[in-house]
Structures are given as C-alpha cells and as structure tokens.
C-alpha cells in the first residue's frame, strides 16, 4: 500500500510562491514511488505579486496563495487548515520564496520570523506522532520554529541564511546540491535544491533523494 503524503504549497512561481520545478519534481517522484498525494495551501493573500519576466513587484495586484497553488496541483488542493496528521504518513514542503514570504515571513524578518499558524499546527502534530517531514530549498529556514532548538537542517552553504537559521535555535549543516541532510531524531530531511542548483537536473538529484528518504522513514 502506498504512503499517504501531504505536499504543502505556497503559491505558484519562484519569486512569490512555490518553486515550480521543485514542486513538480517532488510530485513526480512521489507518484513514481506509488504514494498517494494531497496538496494543501493556506487561503491567504500573497505578500506581493512578482513579474517573473522582470523580477519587479507588480503594484496594485493581489493574488491568493491557495488559488495560485491550485495551478500546480491541477485543481486538486485543500485549505491548509484541513490537513490532519491522522490522514498522512509524511509531509513535504517545496521551496520558492513563497515559503519565506507566504508560509512564513523569513524573507522580511530573518531570525525573528513567524510561521503560518496552520502550518505550525500541522507540522508539529505530524512530528509529535513520529511522522517524517521533508523541507526543500529555503523552506528549512522555518526549522527552528517548527521543530525547536537543536533540530538539524540545511539550505546549502549560504553563510548569511545559515546564521539566521541558527539564531532561531536550529543547527545548520552545509550540504551539496545533490545531497540531503537527515536529522534522524526529528525525522526531518532537508536539501538545498535551487539554493545551490544551476539546473533542473541538479535540483532533481537532491529532491529525489529527499523524497526517497522521507518515504523510507514513513
């Protein structure tokens, strides 16, 4: 019987939502492994909208995180508050700036970040019953808030970001793009993906290992 995995999205698009390649690679690997997947996203407004052709903020435009994330999920998505630990064996969060702008405010506040309450409740409930969590790219910036002091994670090797993560109480471990960091005690798996990747193939190497490791723990 396939594992049941929740995938939490933060919009659609690297600069203001979920990183599309990371999301698709995760979903593909999960499907190849025979997992049953349900996507979730919070029903909130994005921090802002970015023109992905120019990188500029689009003034006066607002978008909804759940509505945008539904693009990645082909419409099969639920509001994050509906996610219950009893329904899943594991949870995975792709990266993209949405993880640091919509699921949390790490992009604005760094080590003083807060995290979406529904996400905190779901991840901590999963953790309490010993179910594994995978965080990709910049999503591990939330590790200290989600898992508490001493949890081990990686975003690659960016010193500034790593220092902010460690200021939250988490422990950062440098990691290559094609590797994963596994905190066995917390059943937490992280990988740098596009924090380091120069191509979709490079990102896929680490993400595939993360998905495999999460499923093996489930």
Angle at 174 between CA 172 and CA 177, to 5 degrees: 125
Question: Of 12, 137, 175, 181, which is the active-site residue?
Answer: 137
137 is catalytic: yes
Catalytic residues: 137
């Amino acid at each position: 019987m396939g594992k049941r995995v929740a995938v939490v999205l933060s919009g659609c698009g690297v600069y203001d939502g979920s990183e599309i390649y990371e999301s698709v690679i995760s979903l593909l690997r999960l499907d190849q492994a025979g997992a049953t997947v349900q996507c979730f996203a919070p029903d909130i407004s994005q921090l802002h909208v970015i023109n992905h052709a120019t990188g500029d903020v689009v003034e006066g435009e607002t978008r909804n995180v759940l509505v945008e994330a539904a693009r990645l999920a082909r419409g099969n998505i639920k509001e994050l508050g509906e996610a219950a630990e009893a329904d899943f064996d594991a949870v995975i969060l792709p990266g993209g700036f949405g993880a640091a702008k919509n699921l949390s405010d790490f992009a604005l506040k760094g080590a003083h970040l807060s995290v979406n309450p529904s996400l905190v409740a779901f991840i901590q409930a999963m953790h309490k019953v010993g179910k594994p969590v995978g965080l990709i790219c910049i999503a591990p910036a939330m590790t200290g808030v989600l898992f508490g002091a001493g949890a081990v994670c990686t975003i690659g090797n960016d010193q500034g970001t790593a220092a902010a993560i460690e200021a939250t109480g988490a422990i950062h471990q440098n990691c290559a793009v094609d590797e994963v960091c596994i905190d066995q005690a917390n059943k937490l798996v992280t990988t740098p993906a596009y924090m380091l990747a120069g191509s979709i193939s490079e990102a896929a190497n680490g993400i595939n290992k993360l998905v495999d490791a999460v499923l093996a723990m489930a």
